[in-house]
């Protein structure tokens, strides 16, 4: 866990993303970052993260499914794909 107050840096400062990537040993290209603030999303994307802006639960489901991180139900079948 990265607590911004402990490090004196907050989003959208790229250093907070770089710290999280380094400390948590993340592969940015394989890491989803979700935030509702456009500037934070852009900063995460600039650091190589798969950044998603949260606008609604439905849109988030679509975005995660597009990244193949969430299964979506097939229309009318009741089965997941």
- The domain ranges of the chain are 4-66
Q: Is pLDDT above 60 for 75?
A: no
Helix (H, G, I), strand (E, B) or coil at 72: coil
Q: Model's pTM, two decimal places?
A: 0.81
Average pLDDT over residues 66-74: 79
Q: Is-contact 72 81, C-beta < 8 A?
A: yes
φ and ψ of 26, to 5 deg? -90, 150
Mean pLDDT over all residues of the chain? Answer: 90
CATH topology of domain 4-66: Rossmann fold (3.40.50)
Structural element, H or E, at residue 32: strand 32-35
Average pLDDT over residues 11-15: 97
pLDDT tens readout for residues 20-59: 999 999 999 999 999 999 999 999 999 999 999 999 999 9
Burial of 65 (0-12, 13-18, 19+ CB in 10 A): middle
């Amino acid at each position: 866990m990265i607590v911004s107050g402990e490090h004196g840096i907050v989003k959208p400062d790229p250093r907070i993303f770089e710290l999280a990537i380094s400390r948590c040993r993340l592969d940015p290209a394989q890491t989803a970052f979700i935030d509702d603030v456009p500037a934070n999303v852009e900063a995460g994307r600039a650091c190589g993260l798969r950044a998603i802006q949260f606008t609604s639960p439905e849109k988030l489901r679509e975005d995660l499914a597009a990244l193949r991180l969430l299964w979506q139900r097939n229309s009318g079948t009741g089965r997941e794909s």
